[in-house]
Amino acid sequence: MKAIVVHSEADKPVLKWETVADIGYEPHEVLVNVRATAVNRADLSQARGHYPPPPGASEILGLEMAGEIAAIGDAVDGWAIGDRVCALLPGGGYAEQAAAPADMLVRMPDDWSFITGAAVMEVWLTAFSNLFMEGDLKPDETILIHAGASGVGTSAIQLARHIGAAVYVTAGSERKLARCRELGASLAVNYKEADFSTAVMETSGGRGVDLILDPVGGPYLLQNLRVLRAGGRLVNIGLLGGTKGEMDMGLVLGKSLRLIGSRLRSKPLSQKIGITRDFEKTFWPLLVSGVLKPEIDSVYSITEARAAHEYVARNQNLGKVILKLDG
Ligand SMILES: NC(=O)c1ccc[n+]([C@@H]2O[C@H](COP(=O)([O-])OP(=O)(O)OC[C@H]3O[C@@H](n4cnc5c(N)ncnc54)[C@H](OP(=O)(O)O)[C@@H]3O)[C@@H](O)[C@H]2O)c1
């Protein structure tokens, strides 16, 4: 089969669509002809050698896919060759074929393109699990979402608004802030021009927020702790700004705060299956009916994966960047 192979030229990753060894599948798995996958920030780090796949996972990039079932393991029930599915993967999505446990599959609606299917699993499951399972967001609460116009951010805004929570966001351009407002954010702060903590405290009448979804990390730590209310939760999902920050334990103890780090990719399979099935029961029907919508920025051919990575690395995307395979 063909897959993206990472080469290095002058310390920069070069992604090439090349012939690699065919893959197999286990009795509890299906083999899928991948029709579309998507770029995630983890792929950029992995291509630079900073984020190795978890033990046992494919070395090939790609944390999600949409496609058609090509072969079925002996222990799998309920699926047929040709079924249109999408799934989270621990790796291996940037390839003509990927193997996935049958329990991780979600059936795509007939009227969805594979491009839509490839835009959902990684960012919506990340937003869902971190807002509700890690962050325990409630309808009468306020959430601050950093990188609000990211794939995860645009999903998180919609989920939080859907249950009735108030949403504040940060983002780095007027175009991105405007889209976050359209999706339901009542406060959208350009973090390049203003101190988000001042804006959050002013808008909330000094009360702050209950939950923060933070992919930025170290540089935001102290401001995040300052704007959390008593009993607030900080859920860190990324380190876009770096690992080191200033910490004031007086704020943590004084307000009974909780600091949570969470990584979807490294969770045990049983937990990922649980998250997928819980999402399928709760919010998936709202995606199928169009109440919630994946935010798709652009579609590249898989052969242009390098250009797609460079586009995402320049922070130009608003929502998902999809990689489409021929056929
Ligand atoms: N822990 C997990 O399980 C998990 C799973 C999925 C994703 N993630 C993480 O969640 C984050 C979002 O992922 P995504 O795929 O949705 O990303 P994305 O769509 O590529 O968007 C990321 C955005 O973050 C903003 N950004 C970049 N560097 C920044 C910095 N130093 N300070 C503030 N903002 C910055 C940029 O937007 P602006 O133009 O607004 O600056 C950029 O476009 C990433 O950090 C990713 O690694 C974590």
pLDDT of residue 326: 84
Q: How does pLDDT run across 89-118, given as a tens digit for each residue? A: 999 999 999 999 999 999 999 999 999 999
In the predicted model, what is the mean pLDDT of the chain?
Answer: 97
What is the arithmetic mean of pLDDT over 241-250?
Answer: 97
Confidence of residue 3 (pLDDT cuts 50, 70, 90): very high
Q: Which residue has the higher pLDDT, 209 or 54?
A: 209
Question: Which atom from ligand 1 is nearest to the alpha carbon of 170?
Answer: 40
Kindly state whether residues 61 and 114 are assigned to the same domain: yes
Phi, psi torsion values for 324, nearest 5 degrees:
-105, 135
Kindly state whether residues 169 and 70 are assigned to the same domain: no
Other CB atoms within a 10 A radius of the CB of residue 230 amount to 11
Kindly state whether residues 246 and 270 are assigned to the same domain: no
Query: Domain span at residue 173?
Result: 123-261
Last residue of a domain, one of 216, 237, 261: 261
Give ligand 1 pocket residues (Cβ under 6 A): 40-42, 122-123, 126, 147, 149-152, 171-173, 176, 191, 215-216, 237-238, 240-241, 262-264, 312, 315, 317
In angstroms, the CA 71 to CA 79 distance is 10
Q: How does pLDDT run across 174-197, given as a tens digit for each residue? A: 999 999 999 999 999 999 999 999
Kindly state whether residues 270 and 235 are assigned to the same domain: no
Kindly state whether residues 46 and 97 are assigned to the same domain: yes
Kindly state whether residues 249 and 289 are assigned to the same domain: no
What amino acid is encoded at 327 in this protein?
G
User: Tokens 């399928």 map to which residue?
Assistant: 280
Which residues lie across from 322 on neighbouring strands? Answer: 38, 299
Last residue of a domain, one of 206, 231, 261: 261
Kindly state whether residues 115 and 130 are assigned to the same domain: no
pLDDT of residue 156: 99
pLDDT of residue 10: 72
Query: Strand ranges (DSSP E) for 39-81?
Result: 64-72
In angstroms, the CA 258 to CA 270 distance is 25
* CA 51–ligand 1 middle distance (angstroms): 15
Last residue of a domain, one of 242, 261, 280: 261
Q: What's the domain count of the chain?
A: 2
Kindly state whether residues 46 and 156 are assigned to the same domain: no
Kindly state whether residues 194 and 307 are assigned to the same domain: no
Kindly state whether residues 256 and 296 are assigned to the same domain: no
Q: How does pLDDT run across 264-319, given as a tens digit for each residue? A: 999 999 999 999 999 999 999 999 999 999 999 999 999 999 999 999 999 999 99
pLDDT of residue 174: 98
Confidence of residue 69 (pLDDT cuts 50, 70, 90): very high
CB 148 within 8 A of CB 123: no
Give the residue whose CA is nearest to atom 48 of ligand 1.
Answer: 237
CB 121 within 8 A of CB 189: no
CATH assignment of the domain containing 109: 3.90.180.10
Which residues lie across from 261 on neighbouring strands? Answer: 236
pLDDT of residue 241: 97
Helices 121-128 + 269-282 axis angle, to 10: 90
In angstroms, the CA 262 to CA 127 distance is 11
pLDDT of residue 327: 63
* Predicted TM-score (pTM) above 0.85: yes
Kindly state whether residues 257 and 210 are assigned to the same domain: yes
* CA 240–ligand 1 middle distance (angstroms): 6
Q: What is the DSSP letter of 95?
A: B
Kindly state whether residues 129 and 256 are assigned to the same domain: yes
Q: How does pLDDT run across 158-172, given as a tens digit for each residue? A: 999 999 999 999 999
Test site for ligand 1: of 39, 41, 123, most ligand atoms within 8 A of the Cβ:
41
CATH assignment of the domain containing 205: 3.40.50.720
DSSP 151-173: HHHHHHHHHHHHHT-EEEEEESS
* CA 319–ligand 1 middle distance (angstroms): 10
